[in-house]
Each structure stands twice: as C-alpha cells, then as structure tokens.
Amino acid sequence: MYLILTDYEASGLQVKMFSLFPTEFFGEKKYFSLISVNITNTLTGVAFLIGCLLVGFSKEKYEDEFIAKIRLSSLLWAVLLNYILLLLAFIFVYGTSFLSVMIYNMYTVLLIFIIRFHYLLYKNSKLATDEK
C-alpha cells in the first residue's frame, strides 16, 4: 500500500493512494495508478472491521465445546438474518440509497454475530448463577 500524506482538510485527510480501478465515471480511465482521495472513511472502515474481528473471534477465558456451539449457532443466525435483511433491501430500496444499504451490509454480519454471541453468553451465565 503506497501512502503519501498531502494535506489535511476540514472534510478529512487527503492522501495519494494506489488504485486498481478507475473512479471516474467520465473522463480518462487510469488503471493501476495513484489517485488523491479522502481516506477518512477508509481508515474508519478498516478500524471498525479489525475491531469487530478481534471482538468477535477472540478466545473466551474458558473456551469449551459449549462456547464453540454458541459461537457456531450465532454465526449461522447472523448470516441468515443478514441475508434476510439484504433480500428486503433488494425488494424495497432503490437508487443511490441502495449503495448505502450495501455499504452498511458489509458490517452487519459481524455486528449481528457479536451481539447474538455475547447475549447468549450473558444469558447462559445468568442461568448458571441462578442454578447455584
């Protein structure tokens, strides 16, 4: 990844980045070139994804078969719910709003998985303390 800091603007951090595909709809198409872009959204997205991956797939203090079962069922549940939401978006969302839905859709599998997994862990820990 080639990165040259050029300028900090009020709207974000402008840098020259290596691009595989052109970003211009009209005009000259430059494949495999350096382009000047606002990298704020890219850094935010990368940080969010890395954080979610670390939270979602970090080992628990007591990792056993039950935790593995909860992890697998949460992942299955998250993928199923994500694609149900995506199907609804295909049916009911059109135009440029659909692009926003697709951007958010990249993160929903991890978010749903993390929420469901930690909810089930919390719920089962409450059941275990009630039984004692």
Q: DSSP characters for 84-107?
A: HHHHHHHHH--THHHHHHHHHHHH
Instruction: Give the pLDDT confidence of 75-126 residue by residue, as tens digits.
Output: 999 999 999 999 999 999 999 899 989 988 999 999 999 999 999 999 988 8
Is 51 domain-assigned?
no
96 phi and psi angles, rounded to 5 deg: -70, -20
Number of domains in the chain: 1
Is 29 domain-assigned?
no
Is 69 domain-assigned?
yes
Supply the mean pLDDT for the chain.
Answer: 84
Residue 78: its pLDDT value, please? 96
Domain region containing 78: 59-131
| Residue 21 pLDDT grade (very low, low, confident, very high; cuts 50, 70, 90) | confident
pTM here? 0.75
